[in-house]
Protein backbone atom coordinates (compact mmCIF):
# COMPACT_ATOMS: atom_id res chain seq x y z
CA UNK A 1 0.00 0.00 0.00
CA UNK A 2 1.43 3.37 -1.05
CA UNK A 3 0.37 5.84 1.65
CA UNK A 4 1.03 9.53 2.12
CA UNK A 5 0.61 10.64 5.70
CA UNK A 6 -0.05 14.22 6.71
CA UNK A 7 -0.32 15.53 10.24
CA UNK A 8 -3.55 17.51 10.64
CA UNK A 9 -4.29 18.89 14.10
CA UNK A 10 -3.87 15.90 16.44
CA UNK A 11 -4.86 13.36 13.78
CA UNK A 12 -3.23 11.91 10.72
CA UNK A 13 -5.17 12.13 7.48
CA UNK A 14 -4.29 9.24 5.22
CA UNK A 15 -4.40 9.65 1.45
CA UNK A 16 -4.24 6.70 -0.88
CA UNK A 17 -5.32 5.75 -4.37
CA UNK A 18 -8.13 3.22 -4.42
CA UNK A 19 -6.04 0.87 -6.56
CA UNK A 20 -3.22 0.98 -3.96
CA UNK A 21 -5.13 -0.35 -0.95
CA UNK A 22 -3.63 -3.73 -1.66
CA UNK A 23 -5.31 -7.08 -1.17
CA UNK A 24 -8.33 -5.78 0.73
CA UNK A 25 -10.60 -5.60 -2.34
CA UNK A 26 -13.86 -5.59 -0.41
CA UNK A 27 -12.46 -3.02 2.01
CA UNK A 28 -11.50 -0.83 -0.94
CA UNK A 29 -15.06 -0.79 -2.19
CA UNK A 30 -16.59 -0.14 1.25
CA UNK A 31 -14.23 2.75 1.87
CA UNK A 32 -15.03 4.27 -1.49
CA UNK A 33 -18.79 3.88 -1.15
CA UNK A 34 -18.74 5.24 2.40
CA UNK A 35 -16.66 8.25 1.43
CA UNK A 36 -17.81 9.21 -2.07
CA UNK A 37 -21.18 7.46 -2.27
CA UNK A 38 -20.37 5.24 -5.24
CA UNK A 39 -17.81 2.79 -6.54
CA UNK A 40 -14.89 4.80 -7.98
CA UNK A 41 -12.88 3.97 -11.04
CA UNK A 42 -9.28 2.82 -10.78
CA UNK A 43 -6.94 5.67 -9.92
CA UNK A 44 -9.50 7.77 -8.05
CA UNK A 45 -8.02 9.63 -5.09
CA UNK A 46 -9.74 8.91 -1.76
CA UNK A 47 -9.29 10.78 1.53
CA UNK A 48 -9.50 8.53 4.58
CA UNK A 49 -9.89 9.93 8.10
CA UNK A 50 -8.50 6.75 9.62
CA UNK A 51 -5.12 5.44 10.76
CA UNK A 52 -3.81 1.91 10.27
CA UNK A 53 -1.17 1.55 12.97
CA UNK A 54 2.24 0.47 11.69
CA UNK A 55 3.41 -1.87 14.44
CA UNK A 56 6.68 -2.69 12.73
CA UNK A 57 7.68 0.96 12.39
CA UNK A 58 6.70 1.71 15.99
CA UNK A 59 8.66 -1.32 17.22
CA UNK A 60 11.74 -0.27 15.25
CA UNK A 61 11.52 3.23 16.72
CA UNK A 62 11.36 1.87 20.29
CA UNK A 63 14.10 -0.66 19.55
CA UNK A 64 16.37 2.18 18.39
CA UNK A 65 15.63 4.08 21.60
CA UNK A 66 16.51 1.03 23.71
CA UNK A 67 19.71 0.48 21.75
CA UNK A 68 20.71 4.13 22.17
CA UNK A 69 20.26 3.73 25.92
CA UNK A 70 22.46 0.64 25.91
CA UNK A 71 25.22 2.14 23.78
CA UNK A 72 26.68 4.39 26.47
CA UNK A 73 30.42 4.94 26.55
CA UNK A 74 32.79 4.14 29.40
CA UNK A 75 33.68 6.79 31.92
CA UNK A 76 37.19 6.07 33.18
CA UNK A 77 37.51 2.46 34.38
CA UNK A 78 33.84 2.04 35.28
CA UNK A 79 31.45 0.37 32.82
CA UNK A 80 28.21 2.25 32.21
CA UNK A 81 24.84 0.62 33.01
CA UNK A 82 24.30 0.27 29.28
CA UNK A 83 27.52 -1.65 28.77
CA UNK A 84 26.68 -3.89 31.71
CA UNK A 85 23.18 -4.63 30.43
CA UNK A 86 24.46 -5.80 27.07
CA UNK A 87 26.20 -8.80 28.62
CA UNK A 88 23.44 -10.08 30.91
CA UNK A 89 21.54 -13.16 29.78
CA UNK A 90 17.81 -13.83 29.69
CA UNK A 91 16.62 -17.46 29.81
CA UNK A 92 13.63 -18.41 27.65
CA UNK A 93 11.90 -21.68 28.55
CA UNK A 94 9.26 -23.22 26.31
CA UNK A 95 7.77 -26.64 25.74
CA UNK A 96 5.96 -28.44 22.94
CA UNK A 97 6.17 -28.23 19.17
CA UNK A 98 3.86 -25.35 18.28
CA UNK A 99 5.39 -23.56 15.24
CA UNK A 100 3.85 -20.20 16.19
CA UNK A 101 5.43 -20.35 19.66
CA UNK A 102 8.78 -21.36 18.18
CA UNK A 103 8.66 -18.40 15.77
CA UNK A 104 7.75 -15.97 18.56
CA UNK A 105 10.61 -17.17 20.77
CA UNK A 106 13.06 -16.83 17.89
CA UNK A 107 11.72 -13.35 17.12
CA UNK A 108 12.35 -12.30 20.73
CA UNK A 109 15.86 -13.75 20.53
CA UNK A 110 16.61 -11.97 17.24
CA UNK A 111 15.34 -8.60 18.47
CA UNK A 112 17.14 -8.93 21.81
CA UNK A 113 20.46 -9.87 20.30
CA UNK A 114 20.18 -7.01 17.79
CA UNK A 115 20.68 -4.65 20.74
CA UNK A 116 23.21 -6.78 22.63
CA UNK A 117 20.93 -8.61 25.08
CA UNK A 118 21.57 -12.35 25.01
CA UNK A 119 18.68 -14.83 25.20
CA UNK A 120 19.44 -18.47 25.96
CA UNK A 121 16.63 -20.77 24.81
CA UNK A 122 15.75 -23.96 26.72
CA UNK A 123 13.28 -26.08 24.75
CA UNK A 124 11.50 -29.11 26.20
CA UNK A 125 9.45 -31.72 24.42
CA UNK A 126 5.79 -32.06 25.40
CA UNK A 127 6.57 -35.62 26.49
CA UNK A 128 9.31 -34.53 28.92
CA UNK A 129 8.48 -34.94 32.62
CA UNK A 130 7.34 -31.76 34.33
CA UNK A 131 10.12 -32.19 36.87
CA UNK A 132 12.68 -31.59 34.12
CA UNK A 133 11.32 -28.09 33.45
CA UNK A 134 10.98 -27.40 37.16
CA UNK A 135 14.61 -28.32 37.82
CA UNK A 136 15.81 -26.08 35.00
CA UNK A 137 13.84 -23.07 36.27
CA UNK A 138 15.13 -23.63 39.80
CA UNK A 139 18.67 -23.76 38.46
CA UNK A 140 18.17 -20.55 36.44
CA UNK A 141 16.59 -18.84 39.42
CA UNK A 142 19.69 -19.46 41.50
CA UNK A 143 22.09 -18.38 38.75
CA UNK A 144 23.08 -14.78 39.45
CA UNK A 145 24.33 -14.33 35.89
CA UNK A 146 20.81 -14.94 34.54
CA UNK A 147 18.98 -11.68 35.12
CA UNK A 148 15.59 -12.62 33.69
CA UNK A 149 13.49 -15.72 32.99
CA UNK A 150 10.52 -16.12 30.64
CA UNK A 151 8.26 -19.14 30.28
CA UNK A 152 6.54 -18.95 26.93
CA UNK A 153 2.81 -19.67 27.02
CA UNK A 154 0.83 -21.71 26.30
CA UNK A 155 2.45 -24.74 27.88
CA UNK A 156 1.25 -28.23 26.93
CA UNK A 157 -1.89 -29.08 28.91
CA UNK A 158 -0.21 -31.79 30.96
CA UNK A 159 2.03 -29.22 32.66
CA UNK A 160 0.89 -27.24 35.70
CA UNK A 161 1.19 -23.70 34.34
CA UNK A 162 0.82 -21.82 37.62
CA UNK A 163 3.21 -24.11 39.48
CA UNK A 164 5.88 -23.55 36.84
CA UNK A 165 5.36 -19.77 36.59
CA UNK A 166 5.50 -19.36 40.36
CA UNK A 167 9.03 -20.78 40.40
CA UNK A 168 10.28 -17.61 38.72
CA UNK A 169 11.63 -15.12 41.29
CA UNK A 170 9.81 -11.80 41.15
CA UNK A 171 13.02 -9.93 40.40
CA UNK A 172 13.63 -12.14 37.34
CA UNK A 173 10.04 -12.24 36.06
CA UNK A 174 10.26 -10.31 32.78
CA UNK A 175 6.69 -11.19 31.73
CA UNK A 176 5.08 -10.44 35.14
CA UNK A 177 3.39 -13.85 35.30
CA UNK A 178 4.36 -15.33 38.69
CA UNK A 179 1.97 -14.80 41.60
CA UNK A 180 4.40 -12.52 43.43
CA UNK A 181 5.02 -10.35 40.34
CA UNK A 182 1.30 -10.17 39.60
CA UNK A 183 0.54 -9.24 43.19
CA UNK A 184 2.89 -6.28 42.81
CA UNK A 185 1.33 -5.28 39.48
CA UNK A 186 -2.28 -5.46 40.68
CA UNK A 187 -1.38 -3.52 43.82
CA UNK A 188 0.39 -0.92 41.62
CA UNK A 189 3.84 -1.63 43.07
CA UNK A 190 5.50 -3.22 40.04
CA UNK A 191 8.48 -1.49 38.42
CA UNK A 192 7.61 -3.00 35.04
CA UNK A 193 4.39 -3.54 33.08
CA UNK A 194 3.24 -6.85 31.57
CA UNK A 195 4.39 -6.77 27.92
CA UNK A 196 0.85 -6.49 26.48
CA UNK A 197 0.16 -3.51 28.76
CA UNK A 198 3.50 -1.95 27.87
CA UNK A 199 2.71 -2.42 24.17
CA UNK A 200 -0.69 -0.74 24.53
CA UNK A 201 0.95 2.17 26.37
CA UNK A 202 3.51 2.53 23.56
CA UNK A 203 0.73 2.51 20.93
CA UNK A 204 -1.32 5.13 22.78
CA UNK A 205 1.72 7.37 23.24
CA UNK A 206 2.62 7.08 19.55
CA UNK A 207 -0.85 8.10 18.35
CA UNK A 208 -1.70 10.42 21.27
CA UNK A 209 -4.64 8.36 22.51
CA UNK A 210 -5.68 9.38 26.03
CA UNK A 211 -7.77 6.58 27.61
CA UNK A 212 -8.95 8.70 30.54
CA UNK A 213 -12.78 8.83 30.72
CA UNK A 214 -13.06 6.78 27.52
CA UNK A 215 -15.77 4.13 27.37
CA UNK A 216 -13.74 0.96 26.88
CA UNK A 217 -14.43 -2.72 26.26
CA UNK A 218 -11.81 -5.43 26.68
CA UNK A 219 -12.62 -8.78 25.05
CA UNK A 220 -11.08 -11.71 26.92
CA UNK A 221 -9.60 -11.78 30.41
CA UNK A 222 -6.51 -13.92 29.93
CA UNK A 223 -3.47 -13.71 32.19
CA UNK A 224 -1.38 -12.41 29.29
CA UNK A 225 -3.61 -9.75 27.74
CA UNK A 226 -7.16 -8.99 28.85
CA UNK A 227 -6.83 -9.09 32.63
CA UNK A 228 -3.71 -6.90 33.01
CA UNK A 229 -4.87 -4.48 30.31
CA UNK A 230 -8.25 -4.04 32.03
CA UNK A 231 -6.51 -3.27 35.32
CA UNK A 232 -4.12 -0.76 33.77
CA UNK A 233 -6.89 1.01 31.84
CA UNK A 234 -9.00 1.34 34.98
CA UNK A 235 -5.98 2.79 36.79
CA UNK A 236 -5.50 5.48 34.13
CA UNK A 237 -9.16 6.47 34.29
CA UNK A 238 -10.89 4.56 31.49
CA UNK A 239 -14.45 3.31 31.99
CA UNK A 240 -13.86 -0.38 31.39
CA UNK A 241 -16.30 -3.20 30.63
CA UNK A 242 -14.74 -6.68 30.68
CA UNK A 243 -16.19 -9.06 28.12
CA UNK A 244 -15.83 -12.83 28.30
CA UNK A 245 -17.86 -15.88 27.27
CA UNK A 246 -20.37 -15.21 30.04
CA UNK A 247 -21.16 -11.63 29.02
CA UNK A 248 -24.82 -11.34 28.00
CA UNK A 249 -24.73 -8.26 25.75
CA UNK A 250 -21.26 -7.90 24.16
CA UNK A 251 -22.54 -6.20 20.99
CA UNK A 252 -24.46 -3.52 22.91
CA UNK A 253 -21.44 -2.79 25.12
CA UNK A 254 -19.11 -2.71 22.13
CA UNK A 255 -21.30 -0.27 20.18
CA UNK A 256 -20.92 2.30 22.97
CA UNK A 257 -17.15 1.96 23.22
CA UNK A 258 -14.58 4.61 22.32
CA UNK A 259 -11.79 2.04 22.80
CA UNK A 260 -12.09 -1.63 21.80
CA UNK A 261 -9.33 -4.03 22.80
CA UNK A 262 -9.37 -7.75 22.06
CA UNK A 263 -7.01 -10.59 22.87
CA UNK A 264 -9.17 -13.70 22.58
CA UNK A 265 -7.71 -15.57 19.62
CA UNK A 266 -11.06 -16.06 17.88
CA UNK A 267 -11.05 -15.04 14.20
CA UNK A 268 -13.48 -12.27 13.23
CA UNK A 269 -14.99 -12.07 16.71
CA UNK A 270 -15.60 -8.34 16.26
CA UNK A 271 -17.39 -7.14 13.12
CA UNK A 272 -18.30 -3.75 11.72
CA UNK A 273 -21.86 -3.82 13.06
CA UNK A 274 -20.43 -3.89 16.59
CA UNK A 275 -18.31 -0.75 16.22
CA UNK A 276 -19.33 2.92 16.31
CA UNK A 277 -17.77 5.49 14.01
CA UNK A 278 -14.46 6.87 15.26
CA UNK A 279 -13.63 4.03 17.66
CA UNK A 280 -10.02 3.05 18.40
CA UNK A 281 -9.67 -0.70 17.78
CA UNK A 282 -6.67 -2.67 19.11
CA UNK A 283 -6.35 -6.32 18.07
CA UNK A 284 -4.00 -8.62 20.01
CA UNK A 285 -5.59 -11.75 18.47
CA UNK A 286 -3.46 -14.02 16.33
CA UNK A 287 -4.85 -17.10 14.59
CA UNK A 288 -4.22 -19.00 11.38
CA UNK A 289 -7.19 -19.43 9.06
CA UNK A 290 -6.04 -21.60 6.20
CA UNK A 291 -2.88 -19.95 4.88
CA UNK A 292 -3.82 -16.54 6.31
CA UNK A 293 -2.98 -15.02 9.68
CA UNK A 294 -5.87 -13.00 11.09
CA UNK A 295 -6.92 -11.45 14.38
CA UNK A 296 -10.07 -11.12 16.46
CA UNK A 297 -11.27 -8.18 14.38
CA UNK A 298 -12.89 -8.47 10.94
CA UNK A 299 -10.57 -5.87 9.48
CA UNK A 300 -12.50 -5.25 6.25
CA UNK A 301 -15.74 -4.30 7.98
CA UNK A 302 -14.28 -2.58 11.06
CA UNK A 303 -11.51 -0.45 9.53
CA UNK A 304 -13.77 2.02 7.66
CA UNK A 305 -15.48 2.94 10.94
CA UNK A 306 -12.30 3.28 13.02
CA UNK A 307 -10.19 6.33 13.78
CA UNK A 308 -7.25 4.03 14.61
CA UNK A 309 -6.96 0.28 14.04
CA UNK A 310 -4.14 -2.24 14.43
CA UNK A 311 -3.80 -4.85 11.67
CA UNK A 312 -2.91 -8.51 12.05
CA UNK A 313 -0.14 -9.30 11.32
CA UNK A 314 2.09 -6.24 11.66
CA UNK A 315 0.20 -4.54 14.45
CA UNK A 316 0.55 -5.30 18.15
CA UNK A 317 2.83 -8.35 17.82
CA UNK A 318 6.06 -6.43 17.07
CA UNK A 319 5.23 -3.86 19.76
CA UNK A 320 4.72 -6.58 22.40
CA UNK A 321 8.22 -7.88 21.62
CA UNK A 322 9.87 -4.49 22.20
CA UNK A 323 7.81 -3.97 25.37
CA UNK A 324 9.27 -7.27 26.58
CA UNK A 325 12.74 -5.96 25.72
CA UNK A 326 12.15 -2.79 27.75
CA UNK A 327 11.36 -5.04 30.71
CA UNK A 328 14.47 -7.08 29.97
CA UNK A 329 16.67 -4.00 30.21
CA UNK A 330 15.02 -2.97 33.48
CA UNK A 331 15.49 -6.34 35.19
CA UNK A 332 19.03 -6.58 33.82
CA UNK A 333 19.92 -3.25 35.39
CA UNK A 334 18.33 -4.33 38.67
CA UNK A 335 20.23 -7.62 38.73
CA UNK A 336 23.57 -5.98 38.00
CA UNK A 337 23.22 -3.85 41.11
CA UNK A 338 23.18 -7.08 43.14
CA UNK A 339 26.38 -8.65 41.79
CA UNK A 340 28.97 -9.35 44.46
CA UNK A 341 31.80 -7.13 43.32
CA UNK A 342 32.85 -4.45 40.91
CA UNK A 343 35.29 -6.96 39.37
CA UNK A 344 32.40 -9.27 38.45
CA UNK A 345 30.66 -6.37 36.75
CA UNK A 346 33.76 -5.54 34.75
CA UNK A 347 34.06 -9.18 33.67
CA UNK A 348 30.45 -9.22 32.53
CA UNK A 349 30.63 -5.87 30.77
CA UNK A 350 33.68 -6.96 28.77
CA UNK A 351 32.17 -10.03 27.12
CA UNK A 352 28.87 -10.07 25.23
CA UNK A 353 29.31 -13.69 24.08
CA UNK A 354 28.72 -15.20 27.50
CA UNK A 355 28.57 -19.04 27.83
CA UNK A 356 25.15 -20.70 27.84
CA UNK A 357 25.54 -23.22 30.66
CA UNK A 358 25.92 -22.43 34.33
CA UNK A 359 29.04 -24.56 34.66
CA UNK A 360 30.72 -22.86 31.70
CA UNK A 361 29.76 -19.42 33.04
CA UNK A 362 31.36 -20.22 36.40
CA UNK A 363 34.57 -21.42 34.79
CA UNK A 364 34.58 -18.48 32.36
CA UNK A 365 34.14 -15.94 35.17
CA UNK A 366 36.91 -17.47 37.33
CA UNK A 367 39.33 -17.38 34.40
CA UNK A 368 38.36 -13.82 33.47
CA UNK A 369 38.77 -12.65 37.07
CA UNK A 370 42.19 -14.30 37.20
CA UNK A 371 43.23 -12.43 34.04
CA UNK A 372 41.86 -9.19 35.47
CA UNK A 373 43.75 -9.72 38.75
CA UNK A 374 47.05 -10.34 36.92
CA UNK A 375 46.61 -7.04 35.04
CA UNK A 376 45.95 -4.97 38.17
Tell me, yes or no, whether 166 and 204 share the same domain: no
pLDDT, tens digit, for every residue of 255-300? 999 999 999 999 999 999 999 999 999 999 988 888 888 999 999 9
Question: In this structure, is residue 130 part of a structural domain?
Answer: yes
How far apart (Å, rounded) are the C-alpha atoms in residues 157 and 354? 34
Output the domain CATH number for residue 206.
Answer: 3.40.50.720
Question: In this structure, is residue 370 part of a structural domain?
Answer: no
pLDDT, tens digit, for every residue of 81-122? 444 444 557 899 999 998 888 888 998 999 888 888 889 999
Tell me, yes or no, whether 224 and 173 share the same domain: no
Higher pLDDT, 41 or 106: 106
Question: In this structure, is residue 374 part of a structural domain?
Answer: no
Tell me, yes or no, whether 126 and 206 share the same domain: no
How far apart (Å, rounded) are the C-alpha atoms in residues 234 and 212? 9
Tell me, yes or no, whether 198 and 285 share the same domain: yes
Higher pLDDT, 104 or 346: 104
How far apart (Å, rounded) are the C-alpha atoms in residues 113 and 165? 24
How far apart (Å, rounded) are the C-alpha atoms in residues 251 and 241? 12
Tell me, yes or no, whether 175 and 266 share the same domain: no
Residue 365 reports pLDDT greater than 80: no
Tell me, yes or no, whether 111 and 221 share the same domain: no
Question: In this structure, is residue 341 part of a structural domain?
Answer: yes
Domain region containing 310: 194-314
pLDDT value, residue 173: 96
Higher pLDDT, 17 or 104: 104
Tell me, yes or no, whether 244 and 347 share the same domain: no
Q: Which residues contact 374 (CB under 8 A, 6 or more apart)?
A: none
Residue 257, SS3 per DSSP: coil
Question: In this structure, is residue 367 part of a structural domain?
Answer: no
Output the domain CATH number for residue 170.
Answer: 3.40.50.10860
pLDDT, tens digit, for every residue of 117-164? 889 999 999 999 999 999 999 999 998 888 899 999 999 999 999 999
Tell me, yes or no, whether 263 and 214 share the same domain: yes
Tell me, yes or no, whether 297 and 225 share the same domain: yes
How far apart (Å, rounded) are the C-alpha atoms in residues 242 and 264? 12
Tell me, yes or no, whether 210 and 308 share the same domain: yes
Tell me, yes or no, whether 153 and 203 share the same domain: no
Residue 306 reports pLDDT greater than 70: yes
pLDDT value, residue 82: 45
pLDDT value, residue 134: 97
User: CA dist 280 to 121, 134, 251, 273, Å?
Assistant: 36, 41, 16, 15
Q: How many domains does the chain have?
A: 3
Most confident of 4-18, 93-107, 348-362: 93-107
Tell me, yes or no, whether 337 and 252 share the same domain: no
Q: What is this structure's pTM?
A: 0.78
Question: In this structure, is residue 336 part of a structural domain?
Answer: yes
Amino acid sequence: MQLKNRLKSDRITVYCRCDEIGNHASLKMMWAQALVGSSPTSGTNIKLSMIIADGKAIAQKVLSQIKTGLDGSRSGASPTPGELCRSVSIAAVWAGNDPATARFVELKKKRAESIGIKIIIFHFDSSDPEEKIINKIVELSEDKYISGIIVELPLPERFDRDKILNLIPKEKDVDVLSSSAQEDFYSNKSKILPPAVGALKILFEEYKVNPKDKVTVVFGQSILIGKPISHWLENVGAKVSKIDENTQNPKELCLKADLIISGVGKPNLISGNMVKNGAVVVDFGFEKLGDRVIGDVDFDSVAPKSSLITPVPGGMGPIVVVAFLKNTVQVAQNSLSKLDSFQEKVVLSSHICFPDSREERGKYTREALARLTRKT
